[in-house]
Amino acid sequence: MTATAEVKGGEIIARSLQQHGVATVFSLAGTAHTYLLQALAPLGIDVVSTRHETNTVLAADGYARTSGKTGVALLKNDQGLPNAMTGICTANAACSPVVVLSSLSPSSSIECNGEFSELEIVTPVAKWVRIVPSVERLAEYVAMAFHQARSGRPGVAVLGIPQEFQGFVTALPERPLMHPAARAPAIAPEDAEALVDLVAKAKRPIILTGGGALASGAGPVLRDLAETFSIPVIGNSLGRGLVPEDNRLGFSWALAQVAARQADLVIAAGIRMTQRLGYGLPPRFAKTATFVQIDIHAEEIGRNRPVDLAIVADAASALTALFTALRSRGFEGFGSTQWVNDAMAARRTRIDELGRDPEAEIHPYQIGRALGDLLPPDAVVVGDGADILNWLHGVYFVGAPRCYMDHYPFGSMGVGTGLALGASAALRDEARALGKPVRPLVLLTGDGAFGFYCGELHSFERAGLPVTIVVANDGAWGTEHHGQLKALGQSYNCLLGKSDYHMVGAAFGFAAHKIEDGAELRGRIETALAEGGRTILNVLTDTDAGRIRKTDPRVQTVAFEDLASSLKTHATPDVA
């Protein structure tokens, strides 16, 4: 490689980020990245300043989930990396392509200050962890971090950069150092033939989709399979919206899971059999159902449940092969997905009955219904909390890919605020690139979850990023509160009080409103969306509403008692 100029290491990193198409990075301000921050400004790369390192990474995660691009977080190693662990765990569990650049203290301080090596703390929870060995190799290692974050199963790449390297002068590479995109594995011909045979013999097939299906770009072929052959597509988490959730061809797992046990063929495409899916086991799924699992990560296949056909391949590749072969055979399809709606009928009827009394306290369903009525299909919704997410899943349906995210699969409360910050930045960058208005963004969070990182509202304000935040405030850790009431008849350490959370937003320049009357709710949300700025709505909901979720399985959209050891003592998995 021939040198064309000499520049500081900070500029080497900045130019490498530019070459990888980075438009925005997230950073908690400080001296750790001084020369890099200086070099970013002339290149037109925005810096969104955060208030807690977990949210630095979560914002990069939310940016990646919304845009499909790689999110970038800048941290200080010594104090910052321990703070960032929740964000790193969350992003890695969600398979988000995120690059964390962690500035390491000068080597002279290591023995004095540390009992462990610089990046030891993060090694068990990130996909890839390295330290740049010399300033001359900065560009090489940054390129490697991007490659590792995106290749195979995406995840978090943590790159430690000795702080002094940013100020050192070194040769600028003559040409960009970038890894070409690796081609995803294609389905083997014999596996494609076996898959087609299984579909042709099935009576009630379903396709389950997760983040792997999204990452592969499987949306178009999934829509073709659903439309042409009436195969229900049921999405979970980032797999939602690949087929619009019209409850005709596209469904959300949270609501449609009651139909899963009736499927005789289950095609799991880029989705993990986690607790939320009952681990793929009975009674969520029939013991006699034929299981096909498609994943680029061979080690994931057969986890918790043995499968009948294991396909190590990109989901889009495998599903395209399936669609093409079915068409060539003249396969006529299954005629209708009505059996899924029949299975959901009792659940949907019960859900529709609740939260309709205009004289009662605000029911969480009223929030979800208002969002469903007012938001366009391409709006982005970020969910956070426990009870409020359960309610949301029952009445809100996702209309497009990359338009919904929550704290699944890691499950850490409070992460929605950081995810929403990154999503807002991604939507702004998208609008700039396309010359279109910024798409709406709503963060719906519980009051308990909101309290974790509410100081991050300052980051929205400083960066000028729009968001509508709706705090469903029942004054409690609702899931725990009602669980204790059911078990003990008394609640301990679960009540929070209905605090004025909207005033946190007001302190940071948000339009802030407390809503106690359900008749006011829809109008306030509509105004916030129309203004397109920063609004926080503190919605005081009925504290007692969550009680029914502990007694009526029809309204339970996320069951917490799917552990195999509890199946004999809990009725919920048999119904919900």
pLDDT 10s digits, 61-78: 999 999 999 999 999 988
Q: Is the pLDDT of residue 561 over 60?
A: no
What is the pLDDT averaged over residues 224-230?
A: 98
Q: Is the pLDDT of residue 307 over 80?
A: yes
- Please say whether the beta carbons of 458 and 418 come within 8 A: no
Domain boundaries, the chain: 3-173, 189-341, 354-575
Q: Which two tokens stand for residue 532?
A: 């397109």
- Residue where the block lists tokens 């200080």: 76
Amino acid at 489: G
Indicate the helix (H) or strand (E) that contains 16. helix 9-19
What is the pLDDT averaged over residues 331-341?
A: 96
| Residues with Cβ within 8 Å of residue 481, at least 6 apart in sequence | 491, 494, 495, 543, 546
- Please say whether the beta carbons of 437 and 97 come within 8 A: no
Q: Which two tokens stand for residue 249?
A: 């061809």
Cα four-point dihedral sign 175, 177, 178, 180: positive
Is the fold of 189-341 the same as that of 354-575? yes
Bridge partner list, 72: 99
Mean residue pLDDT across the chain:
92
Alpha-carbon gap, residue 71 to 519, rounded angstroms? 40
Q: Is the pLDDT of residue 573 over 80?
A: no
The residue that leads in pLDDT, 560 or 6, is 6
Alpha-carbon gap, residue 397 to 249, rounded angstroms? 13
pLDDT 10s digits, 512-547: 999 999 999 999 999 999 999 999 999 999 999 999
CA-nearest of 382, 426, 353 to 23 is 426
| Residues with Cβ within 8 Å of residue 24, at least 6 apart in sequence | 45, 46, 47, 48, 63, 72, 425, 426, 428, 429
The pLDDT score that the predictor gives to residue 390 is 93
pLDDT 10s digits, 15-51: 999 999 999 999 997 668 999 999 999 999 999 999 9
Q: Which two tokens stand for residue 119?
A: 């990046």
Q: What percent of the chain has pLDDT over 90?
A: 85
pTM, 2 dp:
0.94
Q: What are the two backbone dihedrals, phi and then psi, of residue 120, each rounded to the nearest 5 degrees?
A: -60, -35
pLDDT 10s digits, 387-439: 999 999 999 999 999 999 999 999 899 999 999 999 999 999 999 999 999 99
- Residue where the block lists tokens 């982005």: 380
Q: What is the DSSP string of 423-437?
A: HHHHHHHHHHHHT-P
The pLDDT score that the predictor gives to residue 228 is 97
Q: Can you count the helices (H) and strands (E) in the chain?
A: 22, 20
- Please say whether the beta carbons of 276 and 558 come within 8 A: yes
Report the CATH superfamily, name and number, of domain 354-575.
Thiamin diphosphate (ThDP)-binding fold, Pyr/PP domains (3.40.50.970)
**Rg of the chain taking only CA atoms, in angstroms:** 24
Alpha-carbon gap, residue 510 to 464, rounded angstroms? 11
Question: How does residue 4 score in pLDDT terms, banded at 50, 70 and 90?
Answer: low
| Residues with Cβ within 8 Å of residue 180, at least 6 apart in sequence | none
- Tell how far CA 459 is from the center of its chain: 20
The pLDDT score that the predictor gives to residue 176 is 72
pLDDT 10s digits, 98-108: 999 999 987 65
pLDDT 10s digits, 253-301: 999 999 999 999 999 999 999 989 999 998 899 999 999 999 999 999 9
Bridge partner list, 520: none
The pLDDT score that the predictor gives to residue 171 is 84
Question: How does residue 221 score in pLDDT terms, banded at 50, 70 and 90?
Answer: very high
Q: What are the two backbone dihedrals, phi and then psi, of residue 471, each rounded to the nearest 5 degrees?
A: -100, 110
- Please say whether the beta carbons of 32 and 120 come within 8 A: no
Q: Which two tokens stand for residue 563?
A: 């552990």
Alpha-carbon gap, residue 235 to 408, rounded angstroms? 13
The pLDDT score that the predictor gives to residue 179 is 81
**CA-CA-CA-CA dihedral for 94, 453, 388, 413, to nearest 10:** 50
pLDDT 10s digits, 395-407: 999 999 999 999 9
Helix, strand, coil: what percent of the chain each, to 5? 45, 20, 35
What 8-state DSSP symbol labels residue 217?
Answer: T
- Please say whether the beta carbons of 274 and 303 come within 8 A: no
- Residue where the block lists tokens 């013991």: 287
pLDDT 10s digits, 88-145: 999 999 999 999 999 998 765 555 555 446 799 999 999 999 999 999 999 999 999 9
Q: Is the pLDDT of residue 564 over 90?
A: no
The pLDDT score that the predictor gives to residue 181 is 76
| Residues with Cβ within 8 Å of residue 465, at least 6 apart in sequence | 48, 421, 424, 425, 428, 459, 534
Query: What CATH number matches the domain at 3-173, 3.30.70.20, 3.40.50.970, 3.30.70.3270, 3.40.50.12780?
Result: 3.40.50.970
The pLDDT score that the predictor gives to residue 339 is 97
Tell whether domain 189-341 is in CATH 3.40.50.1220: yes
